[in-house]
Amino acid sequence: MGHESDQALVTAYRAGDEQAAGELVQRHGAALGRYLYSSGAPAGEIDDLVQETFFRAFRALDAWRGDAAFRSWLFRIGGNLRKDLYRKEGGRRVVSIVETDAVDHADPEGQVIAHDQAARIRIGITQLPRLQREVFLLRVQEGLRYDEIARSLGTTAGAARVHYHHAVQRLKGLLT
């Protein structure tokens, strides 16, 4: 089952193969978690958000027409879910500066700088306009090409390149 395409797994799932759903979670869950975390979700809520995203995705599977990557479709659902939760909390959610990384005691000063920069970049990513954020994360975390990003987000490769450029320029400004 591990070599089957997403489309094949979705077809199997629709036909009643429960293991296909599990395989899709195993295949995309970690990337979805990273995407949500990079978009500003707290580390402690990632599992719940990922689970709820898959619940919603499988309940609305008919809405996925297969023209965009399944992973990108999940990212879109997860991103909307995170945004809804943020709105419900009145926009008061604060992104933790460093939630997961441990300090390297061999180079504490360098690590503090690195942590500071990482925190600034993470916060900066959450403050990017949606398309800039999605293009940036799909490119640097998923390694997608511009044409793949364009298909996923329903835009053009040229527009994706422009969004990426703007995102990088904004984030570069946070390092100085």
Partner 1 sequence: MTRLIHLSDRMPQVAWGAASWSPEDMVHLASCAECRAEWRVVELGATIGADLTDRMDLAGIAARVVADRARRAPVPKAHSFRRASWVVATAAAAALLIMMARPTSAPESAPAVALLPELEGMSAEELELVLDVLPAADGWTVPGTNLGDLDDGELERVLRTLEG
**Cβ of residue 53: shortest distance to partner 1, in angstroms?**
10
The residue among 90, 84, 88, 114 whose CA lies nearest residue 101 is 114
171 binds partner 1 (CB under 8 A): yes
Q: Which amino acid is at 43?
A: A
Residues 6 or more apart whose CB falls under 8 angstroms from that of 151 comprise 67, 68, 69
CA angle, 89 then 95 then 101, to 5°: 145
Applying CB under 8 A, which of residues 4, 45, 58, 130 lies at the interface with partner 1?
A: 58
Determine the interface stretch with partner 1 among 11-19, 69-77, 87-95, 104-112 (rule: CB under 8 A).
11-19
127 binds partner 1 (CB under 8 A): no
38 with 141: CB under 8 angstroms?
Answer: yes
The nearer residue to partner 1, 67 or 150, going by C-beta atoms, is 150
The nearer residue to partner 1, 74 or 151, going by C-beta atoms, is 74
SS3 content of the chain, % helix, strand, coil (to 5): 70, 0, 30
Q: Which residues bind partner 1 (CB under 8 A)?
A: 13, 18-19, 21-23, 25-26, 29-30, 33-34, 37-38, 43, 46-47, 50-51, 54-55, 58-59, 100-101, 117-118, 121-122, 125, 136-137, 139-141, 143, 168, 171-172, 175-176
